[in-house]
Amino acid sequence: MKKFIFIITILSYLGICNLLAQKSSVLPNIENELVPFSINWESSKDSKLNLSFLLDKPAGKNGFISIKDGHFVKPTGERFKMWGVNIVEGACFPDKKDAPAYAAFLARFGINTVRLHIMDRNSSQNCSLFNYKLNNTRELYPDQLDKLDFFISELKKAGIYSDLNLNNYRIFRKDDGVPEYQFLNYGKGATLFDDHLIELQKEYAKQLLTHINPYTGNAYINEPAIVMVEIVNENSLIDEWIDGRLLGKNTTISDDAWIDLPPYYGKELTTKFNSWLKKNVNISEIKKIKKEVGVKTGEDLPRLAPKEFKNASELRFHTEAKFIIQTERDFHTGMYNYLKKELLVKSLVIGNSDNAHNHNSYAFLSSASLLDIVDSHVYWQHPDSREISKPMVNDPKFSTVVQLSRSAVEGKPFTVSETNHPFPNEYACEGIPILGAYGSLQDWDGIFIYALEHVSPDLWNNNYSGSFSMGLDPIKMPSMAAIGLMFLRGDLNPAESCVQRGYTRSEIIEGIRETSDHKPFFTKGFSPLIPLIEKTRISSFDSRINNFPIIKNPSEIKSNTGEIDWHVNDKSFVEVAAPKTESLTGFIPAATSLLKHMNVNIQNKFASITLISLDDKPIETSEKLLLLTTGRTGMTGMKWSDDRKNLVNPGAKPTTIEVIKGEIILSGLSNAKEIVVEPLDGKGNSIKSMTLPVDKGVARLEIGNDITVWYYLDVKR
């Protein structure tokens, strides 16, 4: 993540508010007030909603997930898509008493893959695989490894695959033999070229991946429930170069992930650059560059700083860019070969993720795509952006789905392993529904929301651990269930056509010094609205392909499948209309009758309303439906500044919701006689039951009388 986790101070548990949440199911008479509503992860016995049927149990029961025609497939040849969450730091190491219920909780919400992330950030013993008591990071801690092993075995039993991350936030220590370790912090950039740091990464990979999990009987190199292994996280030499973090001038201790290299590594990279020049560039060109710079024969050529990019000659800039690209490529292919050919890892491998959407990323992607999977990260209104409450529906050109779509490469599976609308964005209910819809249109292979939690389950009910935690989020978790069902089941069709993009090698290099004015695609003639209409892929890193369609009406963006429509104005909304799923997300106009089976007339200014079949039948003949109604969410006692740009008080548990009020008219329900409607609580259990008559296929449902975000509909025929 772009500046690691924004941690909110551990907050006190407000017992009296929790008591109110348990006892009250009738709304106070206050318009749009946020009221307590909590997700319960531990209790699911009587839940009306259990999507674990979507998962094959155990995970990997027939063998490893592989790749065919650019997509994941099961050993049976059936398409496999991932709908997942990140599990981070301490959350990767639950107590054994909690692990079975933890896995069952994920399965109940239809989550079929987890990304086990930042297991190497040795800031405390409870959140790292390294032995915290030692002055090095070269030994795994048996107790933590045992917890991880047991958790992965429980995930496997529940039908949930794991993505193991290697080097994420490892902080090197004195006895690691790492020069200037105290100034490295996470070592971004340096870990891609320093020989000793690379050997330490290989050592860690071998320790973890060749270890035999006693609960499954398999070493991780032979475990089919491990679907992927990731080499590094948001760690690109190209991005470090663009952002001026390869200068080698840092001599201060910092907890910032995005810092310059210490002097030792700056000098080392310059030495490697000049050694590379002698082997790969003819003498006359080297002399020409040195003359341009004013360097005498026999002296090392200094590397470029970002402020020098613009005025550097093509020869000088392209020469150094080729070195940076090749160094990064050698790291990824070298680690890939080590994992696959020496350790004999059978799982698929990701090198790194495209995460800097203010940069032109095609140089990075040309290397990343040499591995098994292409991956990307993006956040809407990251807390570091200082704009933390802005609706994405009003900015389709730079929406998360548009930014992410630039990275997909033809013939390679594409995953999004980090994305979110982080707390406290008041429009967060839009994130998952829009992402799931356009992820389907783009035919992506996996989506992981960041993050479920950062702490172990025994702490979930008592504190709020940061802007990204969503395990008990009363809006995001129900959305994960409904939209996950839509995504995994394939309710929406992929785009009927694909707009191909291609770049010459010269364009790829020049793109490194291109300004951010053309973000996120940095491609002349390519409208950022195209991914909202058609699929797009990079099909060449050697030749230019620039035959792009013209968007004639940017205020009405309809997918070429006819199933998604982004209505653009000052109060925009997204409409999804498919046989098994219908939804409206954003500033939904009053009495909206665009959909075939759902007329929405609500009082709330912003919401997401989804109607989805639970029994795999079209809505008109379905006997089991889920109605999801989400709006704002927050914490008890949360207070905004007057300009609503910052939180004066982040609040505390329990979580709260804005109840969506109004009327939903269901229509076209073939041969239906009545509908039994059950508002559900945070466990997924029924709060009460009410019966609606159906007249000529039409039923009128008044919502907002109960504290809930979802309704279970049993259609009687």
Query: Cα–Cα distances in Å, from 598 out to 340, 678, 697?
Result: 51, 18, 12
| For the chain, percent of residues with pLDDT exceeding 90 | 84
Band of the pLDDT at 556, cuts 50, 70, 90?
confident
On whether residue 275 sits in a domain, the answer given is no
Could you read off the pLDDT of 304-351 as tens digits, one per residue?
A: 999 999 999 999 999 999 999 999 999 999 999 999 999 999 999 999
Residues 74 and 214 in one domain: yes
What stretch of H or E contains 269? helix 263-280
On whether residue 355 sits in a domain, the answer given is yes
How far from chain centre, in Å, is Cα 692?
Answer: 39
Domain span holding position 207: 48-264+318-489
Cβ partners under 8 Å of residue 74, min gap 6? 56, 62, 65, 80
pLDDT for res 463: 58
Query: Cα–Cα distances in Å, from 164 out to 236, 346, 386, 686?
Result: 19, 13, 32, 37
Residues 526 and 609 in one domain: no
For residue 588, give the CATH number of its domain.
Answer: 2.60.220
CB atoms within 10 A of CB 645: 12
Residues 505 and 636 in one domain: no
The conformation of residue 646, written as its DSSP 8-state character, comes to S
| Mean pLDDT value across residues 134-152 | 96
CA nearest to 83, candidates 103, 109, 61: 109
Residues 551 and 577 in one domain: no
Query: Cα–Cα distances in Å, from 683 out to 40, 413, 494?
Result: 5, 35, 33
On whether residue 670 sits in a domain, the answer given is yes
Cβ partners under 8 Å of residue 337, min gap 6? none
Residue 14 clears pLDDT 80, i.e. is over it:
no
Residue 17 clears pLDDT 60, i.e. is over it:
no
Residues 585 and 636 in one domain: yes
Could you read off the pLDDT of 639-662 as tens digits, one per residue?
A: 888 877 778 888 888 999 999 999
Q: End of a domain among 541, 556, 571?
A: 556
Residues 593 and 544 in one domain: no
Band of the pLDDT at 462, cuts 50, 70, 90?
low
Q: Are 91 and 143 in contact (CB under 8 A)?
A: no
User: Mean pLDDT, the chain, as a whole number?
Assistant: 93
Task: Report the alpha-carbon angle 679-682-685, nearest 5.
Answer: 55
On whether residue 669 sits in a domain, the answer given is yes
Band of the pLDDT at 384, cuts 50, 70, 90?
confident
pLDDT for res 26: 47
Band of the pLDDT at 461, cuts 50, 70, 90?
confident
The least confident of 303-317, 379-393, 561-575 is 379-393
Band of the pLDDT at 133, cuts 50, 70, 90?
confident
Residues 387 and 242 in one domain: yes
Band of the pLDDT at 30, cuts 50, 70, 90?
very low
pLDDT for res 465: 59
Residues 658 and 550 in one domain: no
**Tokens, residue 288:** 């020409």
Residues 504 and 520 in one domain: yes
CB atoms within 10 A of CB 184: 27
Q: Are 51 and 79 in contact (CB under 8 A)?
A: no
pLDDT for res 677: 98
Residues 482 and 504 in one domain: no
pLDDT for res 40: 87
Calculate the CA dihedral of residues 579, 581, 584, 586 and round it to 10 degrees.
-140
**Tokens, residue 255:** 């907890």
pLDDT for res 442: 98
Task: Report the alpha-carbon angle 402-632-608, nearest 5.
Answer: 55
Q: Are 218 and 345 in contact (CB under 8 A)?
A: no
On whether residue 13 sits in a domain, the answer given is no
Q: End of a domain among 433, 466, 489?
A: 489
Residue 5 clears pLDDT 60, i.e. is over it:
no
Give the total number of structural domains in the chain.
3
- Per DSSP, the three-state class of 402 is helix
| Mean pLDDT value across residues 676-695 | 96
On whether residue 277 sits in a domain, the answer given is no
Band of the pLDDT at 471, cuts 50, 70, 90?
very high
Q: Are 607 and 630 in contact (CB under 8 A)?
A: yes
CA nearest to 158, candidates 69, 54, 77, 260: 54
Residues 480 and 515 in one domain: no
Could you read off the pLDDT of 492-541 as tens digits, one per residue?
A: 999 999 999 999 999 999 999 988 778 999 999 999 999 999 999 999 99
CA nearest to 467, candidates 227, 608, 646: 646
**Tokens, residue 155:** 């995930």
Residue 4 clears pLDDT 60, i.e. is over it:
no
Q: Which residue has the tokens 């206050």?
A: 30
For residue 328, give the CATH number of its domain.
Answer: 3.20.20.80
The conformation of residue 8, written as its DSSP 8-state character, comes to P
Strand ranges (E), 572-672? 573-577, 581-586, 598-602, 607-613, 624-630, 633-636, 639-640, 647-649, 652-658, 662-666
Alpha helices in 442-541 (DSSP H): 476-489, 505-512
Q: End of a domain among 513, 537, 556?
A: 556
CA nearest to 305, candidates 355, 236, 249: 249
Residues 706 and 661 in one domain: yes
On whether residue 17 sits in a domain, the answer given is no
Write down the pTM of the prediction: 0.94
CA nearest to 660, candidates 689, 681, 633: 633
| Mean pLDDT value across residues 364-382 | 96
Band of the pLDDT at 32, cuts 50, 70, 90?
low
On whether residue 610 sits in a domain, the answer given is yes
Pairing relationship of beta strands 581-586 and 573-577 according to DSSP bridges: antiparallel
Residue 27 clears pLDDT 50, i.e. is over it:
no
